[in-house]
Structure 1
Amino acid sequence: MGVWNLIRRDEPTVDSTREALREARRGDRGDANVVTRAVERFRDIGLDGKFTFASAGRIASRARSRHRRPEQAIARVVAQHQRGVAAGGFITGLGGFLTLPVALPLNVAEFYLQATRMVGAIAKLRGYDLDDDRVRTAVMLTLAGDESRDILQQAGLGAFSGHVSDALVGKLPAGTLMMINKGIGFRMLRQAGERSLAGFGKAVPALGGVVGAVIDVRQLRRIAAAARREFPEVIHVQ
C-alpha cells in the first residue's frame, strides 16, 4: 500500500499528526501553528502525492481511463479508498487499547491522507482545478463535514448557503486562510481522536482491527457523500 510506504519514509507526517492531536485535545489553548501544519501536510501530500503515494489527479485519471461516465469513475475512486482505509483501520486497530499511543497517530495520518486524496480525485473528476488554492481549501473543508460552514463563518466570511467553494471567492488573505486551516485541523483531529478512542477503547486486541476498519469505512463514506454534494459538476461553456 502506497500510504504505508509513505508513512514509513516520511516521519514528519506522523510527528506532526501526533503533536496536532495533543493540541486538538487542548482546544483553543493549543498551538494553532502545529494544527495548521498538520492540515497543510495532509492537503499537500494527499493532493500532490509523494513517493509511492499517487496524487489525487493521477487517481482521477486512472479511474477516468476505465470509466467513460464521471459518476462511475467517482464510484471506483470511493471504493478504492474504502478498501484502503479498511486495511489501515484494521492494521492500526489490531493491538486494541494497549497500542493506542503508537497506533492512533498512524491511523489518523493514514486515514486523512487517503480521505484528502479521495475528495481531491472526486473534485478533479467533476472538473475542478486542484492547483487552485480555493479548490484545495474547499477539499479540506469537506473533511470537516457539517462544521465547514461554521469554520468559514468564524473566519469572517459570513453565513451562507450552497457549496463551500462558493464562499471562497477571490484571493483570500493569509490570515483568513490560517483561521480556516486552524478550524479544519481542530475539528478533523478532535473527531479523529474521539472516533479512534471509542473504537480502540472498546475493543480487545485483534477484534480492534475489525472495529477500526468498520469505523474508518463508515466515516469515509460520509466524507465521500459530502464531496459529491460540495463539488457539483463544472459545466464548461463552449
Structure 2
Amino acid sequence: MALDDNSIVQQTLQWIADAGINGLGVLPSAEKVAADHRMNASSVEEAIDSIIAWRTAYAAGTGFVTGIGGFAAMPISIPTGLAASYALGANTAAAIACLRGYDVHSEQTRTIVLLCLIGEAAEEILKTAGIAFGSRVVGNLLRQIPGRVLVEINRRVGFRLITKAGEKGVVNLMKFVPFVGGFVGASFDSIFVNGCGQAAKKFFPYQKPT
C-alpha cells in the first residue's frame, strides 16, 4: 500500500505503542519495568534514571533485536533493528510515564510516548497542533484536547518515523534525537533509546496518580 495510507500509518504506530506499553517477546510491559526499578530504588527519580541506564545498555547489546521479535505483525516493513529501537524507546518512555503517575493505557499518554520517539521534532509537531510546548504543561494540555487532534498528532509522528526508516532516513532521524553523534548500529540504538528516556522525563512532569 502507499505510504500516504493513514490507516497503515496508524496501525504501525499502534504496533509501536502496544509493544512499548504491553511488552513483546523478552520486552516486559512498561508497568513491570517501572515496578521492578522502583522496588530497587530509593526514589521515583532514581528509578527513572535506572530505567534509562539499563535500557540504554540493553539497546547497545547485540541480542535485543531478535529477543523482542514480532516484527512480522508490523503493517509497514521497516528495518528490523529500527523497529526494535522504536519498541524499546517506547517501552522506556512508557515506564517513565508509569513512575510519574500517568495511565499508560490512555490515548493521551500513548500520544506523548510516541512523541518521545522523535525528540526535539516533537515540539514542532505540537506547535502545528496549536500546543505551546512547556515541560510542565504538555501532559495537561494533551489530556484536554479533542481526540481528532490527537489523531492528527499521531499521524504526523507516524510519518516522521516511517519516512526516516530507509537507509538515508536512519541518518536523518539522528538529528532529531538529543545528544546524537555520527554513530550507527549499537551506538545509534543506545543513543536513540537514551534520547527517548530524556524526552520522557521532560514530557511527563510528575503528578500524583488519579
Q: Over aligned residues, Cα RMSD in angstroms?
A: 3.0
Alignment partner for residue 135 of structure 1, among 98, 109, 120? Answer: 109
Give the 3 Å change call, closer, same or farther, for CA 91–126 of structure 1 in structure 2. closer
User: 2:17 matched to which residue of 1?
Assistant: 43
Q: How far 1:225 sits from its partner (Å)?
A: 1.4
Contact 1:89 1:107 in 2 (8 A): no
Tell me which amino acid in the other structure corresponds to 1:179: E
Q: Displaced runs of 4+ in structure 1, greater than 6 A? A: 89-92
Secondary structure of 2:120's counterpart equals helix
User: 2:157 matched to which residue of 1?
Assistant: 184
Aligned runs of 1:106-121 on 2, under 5 Å?
106-121=80-95
Q: How far 1:235 sits from its partner (Å)?
A: 4.4
Secondary structure of 1:168's counterpart equals helix
User: 1:161 matched to which residue of 2?
Assistant: 133
Tell me which amino acid in the other structure corresponds to 1:128: Y
Aligned length: 188
What is the percentage of aligned positions where both structures have the same residue? 30
Provide the rounded CA distance (Å) in 2 between the counterparts of 1:136 and 1:74. 18
Tell me which amino acid in the other structure corresponds to 1:162: G
Tell me which amino acid in the other structure corresponds to 1:131: H
Give the 3 Å change call, closer, same or farther, for CA 63–224 of structure 1 in structure 2. same
Contact 2:100 2:206 in 1 (8 A): yes
TM-score normalized with structure 1 length: 0.68
Give the 3 Å change call, closer, same or farther, for CA 236–43 of structure 1 in structure 2. closer
User: 1:202 matched to which residue of 2?
Assistant: none
The answer as to 2:53 corresponding to 1:79 is yes
Q: How far 1:138 sits from its partner (Å)?
A: 1.2
Which structure's residues are more often helix, by fraction?
1
Aligned runs of 1:4-43 on 2, under 5 Å?
23=3, 30-43=4-17
> What runs of 5+ residues in structure 2 fail to find an aligned partner?
67-76, 173-182
TM-score normalized with structure 2 length: 0.76
User: 2:192 matched to which residue of 1?
Assistant: 219
Provide the rounded CA distance (Å) in 2 between the counterparts of 1:213 and 1:226. 20
